[in-house]
Structure formats: C-alpha cells, structure tokens
C-alpha cells in the first residue's frame, strides 16, 4: 500500500489516435504501478470532473462557453494542436477535478498525486499546446477559496516553459512560480515566471540537477509556501520528440527525488501532476512517469 493516494480516471485518455501527445500514457502508468505492485487498487481514487464554477475561478466565461458549446474559431482550434470533441473537453474537466482531489489529498496526507494533468500552457482566455484549461491553477484557486491554503509554490520541470502558469499568477504575491525549461523551444514568447531557469540545448543530468537545486534554494529564500504543486514533465528526456535536453531516465528520477526531499525536509505537502512526455517509445515516457511515483514512495514512506 502507498502512503498516499493516486488520482486517476480512464477519461484522462483523450483518444487522439496517431498524435504526438500519447494520452494513453496515463492508463499505461496506472496499469504499470499496479502490475509492479508499487500501488494497490485501493490506493487509486477516481475524481469527479471539476465544476464550471471551479473552472471559472481561472478562465474567462467566454473561453469556457466556447469549449462547452463547440464555438471555437479556426485559429483557436489550431492553437490547441489537438482535435476538439466533447470527450476531449470532458477529459480536461476530469483532469482539473483530479488535480483538486490530489491537492486535497496532499493537504491531508502530506502528498497527493494526479496521474494526469499539468496542462500549464492554458491561459485564462485561450488554450494552446495541447492544453484547454489549467488544472493546476484551478486546483490552487479552489483550495484557496475553501480557505484551505494561501501561499503556494509551483515547481515546473516540464521541458517547455509554463507560460499559462506565469500569465495566470503574474500579479499574485501568494503564488510563486518556478519554471526550469529549454530556452530554445516552445513557447515563444515566454511570459516571466517569478523564477525562470533557461536551459541551453543539450543540458544533461548533472548540470540540470545542480540548477534545480539552486532554483529551489532561491525560491525558498524568497518565499515561504504552504504547499508545492509539482509539474513533473517527462519531456526533458534525451529521446523526447518535442524536447532538446539530454536528461537520462535515471537523471529524471533524481530530479523528482530532489524536489520531494527538499519538500519533505521542510515538511511542506506536495501535489504532483505529469504534464508532457513525448518519447519516441511511449514505454519510456511511462517509465519516467512511473519513476515519479516510485520516487515519491521512497521519499514519503
């Protein structure tokens, strides 16, 4: 049994067919953690979709209406880079509900894990880069409005900068945003996070881990969070199709351990989402995400 809950719903799979975003990875991670006896079925909770009220804490009424009523313009559709369907919209609402549930679990158990989500390219009034709505921001706003939480640190290690996150929380002194990403990659422009670490093409394990360690130390010098929302993309991997960094599978596990150890040492709860991961072999992406669960189990047991 895990010392924390995993949150998962089969609706996370957007069934995009032959698409670089292989959303079947979520179900594959779930199956692998069960098959490898890393988790038991009772460790896994199924979320309800987020309510529209919760989504509207972050997104404009206009954007939510367009998504719910299929009235996106051609350019809005293109910018998403995934096909529109009601099932896809429902998948994003489920991911947001999953992030709310995982954040609540983190408050209760010290750690919570959404086997999905991390849609950090969604802005209040538009979506882009495979992201319709920003599940992590929605979870933060929901817990803040419940009075459960105020000061939040977001640590984003996806290879792509968290532009939606940076935009949503730009003027919010209660949310400190950190993004470690490849500089020479989507998105362009990159609205400033509170702390951006722009990495050179080909950055490898050792340098990455050193810069992450420094960034976390700086974040804690400048800010005292009550909870960490960790967006642990699998796409800094050296064989990622949409990334240009050179981390190994082992290096990525060390990355996760580093974030979790720092949080544990300070007794700060952590909530995790997966975000990107586009390895040539989907099995590699699944291994990297599964290792995030293993790292959490090792650090939080």
CA dist 215 and 232 (Å) reads: 15
Question: Which residue of the chain is nearest Zn ion when measured via CB?
Answer: 276
Q: Report, in Å, the least distance between residue 145 CB and Zn ion.
A: 28
Q: Report, in Å, the least distance between residue 221 CB and Zn ion.
A: 27
Binding residue for Zn ion (CB under 5 A) from 104, 126, 142, 160?
160
Compare residues 134 and 160 and give the one whose CB is closer to Zn ion: 160
CA dist 282 and 240 (Å) reads: 10
Compare residues 161 and 291 and give the one whose CB is closer to Zn ion: 161
Per CB under 5 A, the segment of 152-160, 191-199, 223-231, 256-264 that binds Zn ion is 152-160
Which tokens belong to 104?
């609540």
The answer to whether the CB of 151 falls within 8 A of the CB of 223 is: yes
The answer to whether the CB of 8 falls within 8 A of the CB of 272 is: no
Compare residues 84 and 186 and give the one whose CB is closer to Zn ion: 186
Residue 276 interacting with Zn ion (CB under 5 A): yes
Q: Report, in Å, the least distance between residue 235 CB and Zn ion.
A: 4
Report H helices in the chain.
25-35, 52-55, 61-69, 74-80, 86-109, 135-145, 163-168, 205-222, 249-265, 282-300
Distances (CA, A) of 290 to 12, 38, 172, 229, 284: 16, 9, 33, 18, 10
Residue 244 interacting with Zn ion (CB under 5 A): no
Residue 297 interacting with Zn ion (CB under 5 A): no
Q: Report, in Å, the least distance between residue 276 CB and Zn ion.
A: 3
DSSP 227: E
Compare residues 157 and 287 and give the one whose CB is closer to Zn ion: 157
Reduced to 3 states (helix: H, G, I; strand: E, B; else coil), residue 201 is coil
Compare residues 95 and 299 and give the one whose CB is closer to Zn ion: 95
Taking alpha carbons only, the member of 134, 165, 166, 156 closest to residue 57 is: 134
Per CB under 5 A, the segment of 103-111, 154-162, 265-273, 290-298 that binds Zn ion is 154-162
Residue 158 interacting with Zn ion (CB under 5 A): yes
Contacts with Zn ion by CB under 5 A: the residue count is: 5
Reduced to 3 states (helix: H, G, I; strand: E, B; else coil), residue 7 is strand
Residue 257 interacting with Zn ion (CB under 5 A): no
Taking alpha carbons only, the member of 219, 121, 114 closest to residue 162 is: 121
178-237 residues in contact with Zn ion (CB under 5 A) are 233, 235
Taking alpha carbons only, the member of 273, 277, 211, 210 closest to residue 238 is: 277
Compare residues 11 and 276 and give the one whose CB is closer to Zn ion: 276
Residue 289 interacting with Zn ion (CB under 5 A): no
Compare residues 49 and 233 and give the one whose CB is closer to Zn ion: 233
CA dist 195 and 178 (Å) reads: 5
Per CB under 5 A, the segment of 137-145, 147-155, 177-185, 273-281 that binds Zn ion is 273-281
Would you tell me which residues interact with Zn ion (CB under 5 A)?
A: 158, 160, 233, 235, 276
């Amino acid at each position: 049994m895990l010392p924390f809950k995993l949150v998962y719903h089969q609706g996370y799979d957007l069934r995009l067919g032959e698409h670089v975003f292989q959303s079947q990875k979520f179900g594959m991670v779930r199956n692998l953690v069960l098959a490898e006896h890393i988790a038991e079925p009772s460790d896994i909770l199924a979320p309800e979709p987020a309510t529209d009220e919760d989504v509207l804490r972050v997104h404009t009424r206009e954007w939510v209406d367009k998504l719910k009523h299929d009235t996106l313009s051609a350019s809005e559709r293109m910018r998403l880079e995934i096909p529109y369907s009601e099932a896809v919209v429902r998948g994003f609402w489920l991911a947001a509900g999953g992030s709310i549930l995982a954040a609540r679990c983190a408050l209760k158990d010290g750690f919570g894990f959404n086997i999905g989500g991390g849609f950090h390219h969604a802005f209040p009034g538009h979506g882009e880069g495979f992201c319709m709505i920003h599940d992590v921001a929605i979870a933060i706003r929901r817990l803040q409005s419940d009075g459960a939480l105020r000061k939040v640190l977001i640590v984003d290690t996806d290879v792509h900068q968290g532009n939606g996150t940076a935009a949503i929380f730009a003027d919010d002194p209660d949310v400190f945003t950190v993004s470690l990403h490849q500089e020479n990659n989507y998105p362009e422009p990159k609205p400033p996070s509170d702390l951006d670490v722009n990495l050179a093409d080909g950055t490898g394990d050792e340098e990455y881990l050193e810069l992450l360690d420094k960034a976390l130390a700086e974040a804690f010098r400048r800010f005292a969070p009550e909870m960490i929302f960790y967006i642990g993309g699998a796409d800094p991997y050296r064989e990622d199709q949409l990334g240009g960094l050179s981390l190994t599978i082992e290096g990525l596990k060390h990355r996760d351990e580093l974030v979790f150890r720092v949080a544990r040492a300070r007794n700060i709860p952590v909530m995790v989402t997966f975000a990107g991961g586009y390895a040539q072999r989907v099995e590699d992406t699944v291994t990297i995400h599964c290792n995030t669960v293993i790292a959490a189990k090792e650090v939080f047991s």
